[in-house]
Amino acid sequence: MVNIYFFTEMPYAEFNEREAEKYPSMRLTFPNTYFDPHKAHVLFRNYYDQYQWAEEVGFDGLMINEHHNTPSCMDVAVNLSAAVLARTTQRAKILLLGNMLPTNDNPVRLAEEVAMADVISGGRVIAGVVRGIGIETWANNTQPNYNRERFEECHDLMLAAWTRPGPFRWEGKHYHFRVINPWVLPLQKPHPPIWVPGTGSPETIEWAAQHRYTYAAFLVPLDATERLYATYRECASAAGYEATAQHFAYMVCCACADTDEKAQELGKHYLWRMGHPLRGPAEYWAPPGYLGERKPLQPGGPIRAGRRPMYTMTYEELQEAYHVVVGSPQTVLEKLSYMQERLGFGSLLLEAQAGAMPHADTMRSLELLGRDVIPQLKKL
């Protein structure tokens, strides 16, 4: 049975998006003088209300993420949002997707924060881990060359902090701690589930499969997702187990309205998140060494080759590619059912708010999804 999650990047779209055209990107170097904290205050309240409402109307989980230096995502600390949701919700899973491991200089503190959120929430945290896009390397000023090494060592240390009785010592390559002995440990044993998102990097899929972690494909075309999932299954077999639906998640932009016409209008807000926030120089997205040591040119490898950047796609093309799914409950149900039957994921992550999508429309969208779509999807 598929589990459905609500997600918003908590965007700040309170300015004329054409301002972004004056700069190389809407990320990293887009001036923060466009930010108004009073407007952000209202937005944050709306977003956290949407999460509470999503739980009330029947979503299984609430997904949160983190980015830096960008109006496309005001959540700059996924563990802060986890703490808020841990206290304002009662039942839903809290999916952190996730903590950026390579840019983190203190994995022990990270382990403590996630453990605390898990304890406050009564064991509802899913501790997703991410490498972070190249831009995060700039924003946090960490060595891009060590991104993957730090990802893996930070993960190993976080896990050790959760599971190995303290005190103990850590002398790694990138992390060194004399006395690891966090008092607050996760409620879930041996530790909260770990998920990993990806958009096509084969190393990430292999790593996820080796660790039996749920792999979440983010806005990946269906045929490419089939290949990614197949790669995961092969790696799982090689590691001596069979991958099941619970190992696969899929993220898509999805909004619902009372009629298809209204939904088509509402869905146009996704063009904001598909536009300027995805545009920018290669130097921002892939700082030197970020893609791996002395990798041949042609980043991304065969799985991503030939894929069109989403910011070049029209609204219609985004819908045809199933990156954006909008419509009446019936239309949305048909499309999501098709995707589920084709891909066989165990979790569906719905980015059900984006850009300047109005709060009231988002709340109605969540209500329709919870009332008319989710129960039907669960019958599949």
Partner 1 sequence: MANAWREEQITIAGLKVQLLHGGQGAPLLVLHGAGGNHGWLQFHEALAQQFHVYAPSHPGFGTSDRPDWMERVHDLAYFYRWFMDELQLAPLSIIGFSMGAWLAAEMVAMYPALIRRMVLVGAAGMKPAVGEITDIFLLTPEEVLQKQFYDPTQAPEYARLYGSEPTFEQRQIASWNREMAALLTWKPYMYNPKLPALMAQVKTPTLMVWGRQDAIVPLNCGALYQQAIPGSRLVVIDNCGHSPQVEKPQAFLDAVLPFLSAP
Q: How far apart are CA 215 and CA 229, in angstroms?
A: 8
Return the amino acid letter for 304.
Answer: R
CA dihedral 98, 100, 105, 108 (to 10 degrees): 20
Contact predicate 4/60, CB 8 Å? yes
Query: Among residues 170 and 290, whose Cβ is nearest to partner 1?
Result: 290
The answer to the question of residue 294 lying near partner 1 (CB under 8 A) is yes
296 binds partner 1 (CB under 8 A): yes
Strand partners, 326: 255
252 beta partners: 350
Q: Quick check: 193 binds partner 1 (CB under 8 A)?
A: no
357, burial (CB in 10 Å: exposed 0-12, middle 13-18, buried 19+): buried
Which residue's CB is nearer to partner 1, number 189 or number 295?
295
Q: Does 105 bind partner 1 (CB under 8 A)?
A: no
Residue from the set 166, 182, 202, 289 that interacts with partner 1 by CB under 8 A: 289
Under 8 Å between Cβ of 266 and 365: yes
137, 102 in Cβ contact below 8 A? yes
Closest separation in Å from C-beta 308 to partner 1? 22
Work out how close the CB of 23 gets to partner 1 at its nearest, in angstroms, rounded to a whole number.
13
Give min distance, CB of 100 to partner 1, in A.
17
Applying CB under 8 A, which of residues 178, 190, 242, 282 lies at the interface with partner 1?
282
Given candidates 281, 302, 358, 375, which one binds partner 1 under the rule CB under 8 A?
A: 281
Binds partner 1 by CB under 8 A, chosen from 30, 213, 250, 284: 284
Tell me which stretch binds partner 1 (CB under 8 A): 67-75, 203-211, 294-302, 363-371.
Answer: 294-302
Shortest Å distance, C-beta 131 to partner 1 = 17
- State in angstroms the smallest separation of the CB of 141 from partner 1: 6
- C-beta of 282 vs 360, nearer to partner 1: 282
Q: Which of residues 321-360 bind partner 1 (CB under 8 A)?
A: none
Tokens coding 52? 């509470």
- Of residues 126 through 145, those in contact with partner 1 by CB under 8 A are 138, 141, 143-145
Please confirm whether the linkage preceding 98 is cis (ω < 30° from 0): yes
Q: How many beta carbons lie within 10 A of that of residue 210, not counting itself? A: 12
Footprint (CB under 8 A) of partner 1, residues 143-172: 143-145
Q: Is 84 left (phi over 0), alpha (psi -120 to 50) or beta?
A: alpha
How near is the Cβ of 340 to partner 1 at its closest, in Å?
41
Place of tokens 């997703």: 128
Q: How far is the CB of 138 from partner 1 (least distance, A)?
A: 7
SS3 275: coil
Report the nearest approach of partner 1 to the CB of residue 297 (Å): 6
**Residue from 128, 58, 135, 140 nearest 99 by CA:** 128
Secondary structure of residue 287 in the 3-state scheme: coil
Compute how many residues bind partner 1; rule: CB under 8 A.
Answer: 16
Binding site for partner 1 (CB under 8 A): 138, 141, 143-145, 281-284, 287-289, 293-294, 296-297
